[in-house]
Amino acid sequence: MALLEVRNLGISFGGLRAVDSLDMTIDQGQLYGLIGPNGAGKTTVFNLLTGVYRPTEGIITLDGQNLVGKKTVEINKAGIARTFQNIRLFKNMSVMDNVKIGLHNHFKYNLFTGILRLPGYRKVEKSMDERAMELLKVFDLDKEAGNMAANLPYGKQRKLEIARALATEPKLLLLDEPAAGMNPNETEELMKTIQFVREKFKMTILLIEHDMKLVSGICEEVTVLNFGTVLAQGKTGDVLNDPRVVKAYLGE
C-alpha cells in the first residue's frame, strides 16, 4: 500500500528547472533511496516534501492527504519528519531536551499551567521525560541524557537527530545524507541503526545518500535524479548497474 505518492512534481527558480516531472511512490514500511550526483535536485525534493518550497506543479499525498500548500509544521504534524545533511541539533541544550522538543506535537499544556508549574504541567513533563528516555535507550543514548548535545561524538549526534525526529511520531522519516562525514565503521553502525529503526518503529524511510555501499545494503528501491529529472528508477541492484547511472556518477 502506497504511503507517499508524488506525481508530476516540479519547481522552477527563475529560469532554472530544479525538479521536473518527478513521479515516485513509496509503500508503507519501505526503505527507499533518492540518489544522484551533486546538484541533481535531491535536497530540493526533500524541501518540497516538507513544505520549505511550494511546487510549481504536481501533487504530493501522504497516506491519502494532500500536502501541497501546507506549512512545514502542518506537514510534520501530518506525519513527515526529517534530518539534515548538516546536523541541526540544539547543541547548547541537553540530549534529553533535544528529544523533548520533538515530543511537543503530542504533549500539551497551556501557557498559564506552564508558568505556574501547576500539577497538570508536572504530569505532562513527567510523561515527556519518560518517553524521551525510552527513545534515548533505543539508541543507547540514555546515559548521555544530561550531557550537552554539542559534547556528543559525531556518530551519536546523528543518532540523537534521528531520535528527535522519531519523537514527532512520523509516518515517513526523511534522512538527508545520514552517512555524511562518517568513517566506514560509523557508516556500518548507521546502516544497522536505520534498519533497526525501520523494524522497531514499523517506519517508512526515504533517504538521500552518496555512499553507494549503504544504499545497496539497505534500500529496496531507488530513484536516481540527474539535473532535476528521473534518470532511472526501480529495484536497487538493477538501477545501480544501469549504464546511465554509472555514467552520471563516474562520467565517460
- Whether 219 maps to a domain, the answer reads yes
| pLDDT tens per residue, range 186-238 | 899 899 999 999 999 999 999 999 999 999 999 999 999 999 999 999 999 99
Within this chain, do residues 97 and 73 fall inside the same structural domain, yes or no?
no
With a pLDDT cut of 70, the percent of the chain lying above it is 91
Within this chain, do residues 204 and 246 fall inside the same structural domain, yes or no?
yes
**pLDDT the model gives residue 180:** 87
The amino acid at 38: N
pLDDT at 140 over 80: yes
Looking at the structure of the chain, the number of domains it has is 2
- Whether 192 maps to a domain, the answer reads yes
Within this chain, do residues 75 and 174 fall inside the same structural domain, yes or no?
yes
Within this chain, do residues 174 and 252 fall inside the same structural domain, yes or no?
yes
- Whether 114 maps to a domain, the answer reads yes
236: containing domain: 1-79+170-252
**pLDDT the model gives residue 109:** 47
Mean pLDDT of the chain: 89
Q: Which of 140, 164, 188 finishes a domain?
A: 164
Decide: 60 and 46 in contact? Cβ < 8 Å. no
Pairwise CA distance, residues 113 & 122, whole Å:
9
User: pTM here?
Assistant: 0.89
Residues in Cβ contact with 87 at an 8 Å cutoff, skipping those fewer than 6 apart: 154, 157, 158, 161
| pLDDT tens per residue, range 78-132 | 999 999 888 889 888 999 999 998 887 655 544 444 444 555 556 667 888 888 9
- Whether 87 maps to a domain, the answer reads no
- Whether 245 maps to a domain, the answer reads yes
- Whether 85 maps to a domain, the answer reads no
Pairwise CA distance, residues 229 & 74, whole Å:
28
Within this chain, do residues 249 and 175 fall inside the same structural domain, yes or no?
yes
- Whether 125 maps to a domain, the answer reads yes
Within this chain, do residues 51 and 4 fall inside the same structural domain, yes or no?
yes
Within this chain, do residues 110 and 50 fall inside the same structural domain, yes or no?
no
Mean pLDDT of 1-23: 94
**pLDDT the model gives residue 201:** 92
Provide the CATH number for the domain around residue 228. Answer: 3.40.50.300
Return the closest-CA partner of residue 23 out of 71, 58, 74.
58
**pLDDT the model gives residue 86:** 82
- Whether 84 maps to a domain, the answer reads no
pLDDT at 5 over 90: yes
Within this chain, do residues 149 and 195 fall inside the same structural domain, yes or no?
no
Residues in Cβ contact with 207 at an 8 Å cutoff, skipping those fewer than 6 apart: 31, 32, 33, 34, 174, 175, 176, 178, 194, 215, 219
Q: What is the DSSP letter of 94?
A: B
- For the beta sheet containing 221-226, the strands, ordered from the edge strand earlier in sequence to the opposite edge, are 80-82, 172-176, 204-208, 31-35, 221-226, 229-235
**pLDDT the model gives residue 113:** 45
Within this chain, do residues 146 and 202 fall inside the same structural domain, yes or no?
no
| pLDDT tens per residue, range 143-191 | 999 999 999 998 899 999 999 999 999 999 999 999 988 889 989 989 9
Decide: 209 and 182 in contact? Cβ < 8 Å. no
